[in-house]
Amino acid sequence: MADDAIFTVTGYAPSDQDCSLHLLLDNKDLYNPETINGKFEKTYYLSFCTETYTIEVMCNGKSKYKEDIKFPYKKTQQPYSLGVIAP
């Protein structure tokens, strides 16, 4: 994967809910959604080509966090922290 960049997403998901982390491009999952619970860290391998991605957290079938980010991009923090995802 020499042509890929590592993008890491961190945060805290509610431990009492069924939550999943989605990395979307053009509203389509790039990877299978990752089940998250409590403190999490997920690493993705992405193309060096700059793209606008959407990070979405779904809990119990509802969107709890949704944000567009550009990666790779100097202003996009690394790792990308979602913080505490509200219940």
Q: What's residue 74's pLDDT?
A: 83
Beta partners for residue 54, in sequence order: 24, 68
Q: Which residues contact 62 (CB under 8 A, 6 or more apart)?
A: none
Residue 2 has what pLDDT? 47
39: tokens are 């403190």
In this structure, the strands spanning 51-59 and 19-25 are antiparallel
* Domains defined along the chain, listed by start: 4-79 (2.60.40)
Position 3 scores a pLDDT of 55
- Cis preceding linkage at 72, omega within 30: yes
CA distance 9 to 78: 8
- What are 11's two structure tokens? 């945060």
Residue recorded with tokens 């990877």? 31
Per-residue model confidence as pLDDT tens for the chain (87 residues): 445 778 899 999 999 999 999 999 999 999 999 999 999 999 998 876 778 999 999 999 999 999 999 988 888 888 999 999 987
